[in-house]
A and B are shown apart, each in its own frame.
Chain A
């Protein structure tokens, strides 16, 4: 059973860079035809896709966030990471990492981690 766990600071100051890591267990991040994705959800609001990475290193990003987002993968640690620069209060949200099986849907999700942007 694949499990994903987000980790990182729960509080980030405005204008700084938000950094989160997702650790995958129960399977190799390199195996299979999967993307590894980040999705966020502000309190009381809907889901917003941030972007995804394939194990080859190729990435796709939400056009509205593309200038501030970097997603990377470390296959040796079975982890992938998110960096979001120049954050503002609007970036306060629960951030989920997930396994994206493409047309078969996003089938495994982490529990989510709340990141608050505040001074």
Chain B
């Protein structure tokens, strides 16, 4: 089973700043099979990025994904107040796994 490790656990930033979230896999993941989700309290997760770098429908272009192999990154170019949430990476395969999440909080 592929283990995904996200860092940092918590990221404290201010609106307008740039956020960089990391997801590292225990073995190589096809770039096509890496996704990112945003989850706000009391809500279901929302798909942001699939295929490592493709934005899902309706996702603002301040969200971008990159990476390959075992190292992937979600970047939020300029934080808006509504971006403060928990973010998860996910790899798709015969067995899907999620990272443990990164909490993005207001500084």
Q: What residues of chain A have their CB less than 8 Å away from a CB belonging to chain B?
A: 37, 46-49, 52, 60-63, 96, 98, 100-107, 109-112
Contacts and interface: CB of A to CB of B under 8 A. Distances in A.
Nearest to B33: A103
Interface stretch (B17-25, B75-83, B92-100): B92-100
Nearest to B30: A103
Contacts of A103: 30, 32-33, 50-51, 92
Given A46-B101, A60-B95, A104 B88 contact: no
Given A47-B39, A48-B98, A103-B32, 4 more contacts: A47-B45, A60-B94, A62-B96, A112-B44
Contacts of A107: 47, 56-57
Contacts of B47: 105-107
Contacts of A46: 88, 98-101
